Amino acid sequence: MDLVKILKDSDFIEESVRIILFSIVSILLGIKDEGFGKKYQKKYILITYLVIALYVTLIGFSDMKNKINLFFLLFFINLLGGINISYESDNMMKGLGRFRLFIFKFFEWFYITKSYIFYICFFFIIIGDEIYTYLFYPFVESFNLNLSRKHVMIFNVFLFFYYHLFSNIIDIFGFIGFEDLKKIILDEIKKFNKNNELKNSILDYMGFIVYMEDKDYFERKGSLYNLKYMIKRKRKERLKNIESQTKLLIRNNKINFNKLNRGFSTIEQQVVRTQVMYRDSYSYKFRRKLFVECIYTPMFFKVFINQRKRYDFSYTIDRAKVDILKFYYNKILEYPSNEKELFEKMAMQSKNLNVNNYRYYFHNEFKCSEEYFKIRKILRRNFSD
C-alpha cells in the first residue's frame, strides 16, 4: 500500500498514466477490422470504461482539475468515434462539407452507441463522495468493512459498464443512409408524376394535407420549426379552435368537435422518420426525436436540394417542397383517389381527429380560408416535373 501511495503521489506515474490512456484511445482508431457493427461497438464501450476505471484508480478525483480532465477525455473519445465512422459516409453525405459531416457523424455515433451513458456514469462518479457518505458509510461502520470511496467508484464504473454493454447488445436503433433515402424519394416522385396529371382535386387534396399537417410548410424555408413559428402556430390554433367550437355549437351539429392540436413535426420530419429508421427501431422516441428528426432531417434536405440544383438551376425550395409533398401523398398516404380515402388515411395518422373532423375542416374551413388560394397557387406553379 505504501508503494502504491508513493507512486500515486509522484508526477512520474501521473504522466505515465496519461500516456497509457492516450495509447488506448489511439488503438481505438485502429479497430476497424469488423467495420462499425456490434463487435466494434463492444470494443469501443470496453475501452472507454477501461479508461474511466484506470483514471479513477490511478489518478482519482482529488481536485476539480482531474474531474474536468476526465470529462474532456470522454468527449475526446467520442470525437474519435465520430471521426472514425465518417470514413463510411456515402457520396451524398460528403456533400454536407467537412464541418457538417463531422457534426452529423459525431451525433450518429453518439446515439448509436448510447454514449450519453458514459456521461451519466461520469456524473455518478462526481457525486461518489455523497453516495459513499449517505449510502455506504453506515454499513462500513456497522460491519467494520474495508470499503473506501474509491471502491465505491470502481463498483459504480463496473455497474455502468455491464448495463451499457448489454443495452448495446439488444439495441436495434439504426437508419439508412442519404443515398438510399434519396432513391426511395425519387422513385416515388417518378411514380406520382407518371400516374397523375394536374387536377383540381389533386391540388385540393395536397393543399389540405399542408393545411392540416404543416400549415407553415411553404412559408418556412427550412425543414424544422423555429421558436417564432411555434409561437405563431399555437396562437392561431387556439383562436381557430375557439371559433370552430362556437360554429358547431351554434349550428347544433352532431359531429363531436375534437380540438385541432397540431404538433411541431413538419412534413419533412414525417417523411424522414417513416422511411429511414430500421424496422422495430421507431419506438426509440428519445433518439428518434433528437437525431433522426432534428439532425438527420435538415442535413439530408439541405444536400438533397443542393444536388437537384446542380442539374436544374430553376429548382427552387418550393419545387423541392412540392416534390416531398408528392412523396407524402403517394407513399405515406398510399395515394388516396377520393375525399373519403383521403380523410380515412389522414385519420389513421392522427391521434385525436376522426374522418368526420377531417371532412368538416376540408369543406368548412380549408376551402374558405386564405391559405386555400395561396397553397393552390404554389402547388400549380411547381407541380410539373
Q: Is 175 helix (H, G, I), strand (E, B) or coil?
A: strand
Residues 376 and 266 in one domain: yes
> Domain range holding 69?
2-170
Residues 214 and 151 in one domain: no
Handedness of CA 71, 73, 77, 79 (dihedral sign): positive
Res 283: pLDDT? 85
Residues 271 and 319 in one domain: yes
Contacts of 352 (CB under 8 A, 6+ apart): 258, 259, 261
- Please provide the average confidence, as pLDDT, over all residues in the chain: 79
Type of residue found at 370: E
Res 246: pLDDT? 46
Res 249: pLDDT? 45
Residues 220 and 331 in one domain: yes
pLDDT tops 60 at residue 1: no
| Mean predicted confidence (pLDDT) in 286-301 | 92
**Which of 150, 170, 190 is the endpoint of a domain?**
170
For 144, phi and psi rounded to 5 degrees?
Answer: 55, 50
Closest CA to 244 of 350, 361, 339, 351: 361
pLDDT tops 70 at residue 159: yes
**Which of 153, 170, 187 is the endpoint of a domain?**
170
Tens digits of residue pLDDT in 18-62: 655 565 555 555 554 455 678 888 888 988 898 888 888 877 776
Domain count, the chain: 2
Burial 313-348 (b: 16+ CB within 10 A, else e): eebeeebbbbbbbbbbbbbbbebbeebeebbebbbe
Residues 285 and 343 in one domain: yes
Q: How far apart are CA 88 and CA 34, in angstroms?
A: 13
Residues 27 and 136 in one domain: yes
**Which of 170, 191, 226 is the endpoint of a domain?**
170
Residues 26 and 108 in one domain: yes
Tens digits of residue pLDDT in 234-270: 555 544 554 455 454 444 454 454 555 555 688 999 9
Residues 29 and 166 in one domain: yes
Cell numbers that stand for 147 in this block: 470499503
Q: How far apart are CA 69 and CA 296, in angstroms?
A: 31
Residues 13 and 127 in one domain: yes
| Mean predicted confidence (pLDDT) in 289-316 | 90
Residues 108 and 126 in one domain: yes
